[in-house]
A = this chain, B = another copy of it.
Amino acid sequence: MTENQNIAKIFKALGDETRLAVLKLLQSGEKCACVLLDRVFVGQSTLSHHMKILVESGLVTARKNGKWTYYAINPIEGEKACQILRDLTVKLDDGVDYNACCRDDRED
């Protein structure tokens, strides 16, 4: 998997309302899947699918204990994602005047 594919994977995980709702629930601490299921309006298999996507993105960790699976936010990966997003959207020094098409400046 390329670097950009990995980054896209993280943001894709964040780009779904159900998964955002799950993250908000996890903000108050680790939760087992059954609790999440009570609060999110999708079926059990669908929730399981969303949790897999969140875990595979790295933003969430899963811990099994007996019958239950506990999910929690992974703040380390969250911080990494923040840094990536910040890097992507900073305004670098950009004093150029582009009144003409910038294609004029390209290398062919």
Please give the residue numbers on chain A whose beta carbons come within 8 Å of chain B beta carbons, in ascending order.
Answer: 2, 4-5, 7-9, 11-17, 20-21, 23-24, 27-32, 34-35, 38, 59, 65, 67-68, 70, 72-75, 77-79, 81-82, 85-92, 94, 96, 98-99, 101-103, 106
Contact = CB atoms under 8 A, between A and B. Distances in A.
Contact of A34 (B89, B91, B103): B103
B78 A27 contact: no
Contacts of A23: 88-89
A99 to B, nearest CB: 7
Contact of A65 (B11, B75, B99): B99
B91 A75 contact: yes
A82 to B, nearest CB: 5
Contacts of A20: 4, 7-8, 88
Given A35-B102, A78-B90, 19 more contacts: A8-B14, A8-B20, A9-B15, A14-B14, A14-B88, A27-B87, A30-B94, A32-B102, A34-B103, A35-B103, A38-B103, A68-B101, A70-B102, A73-B88, A73-B90, A73-B91, A75-B91, A77-B89, A81-B89
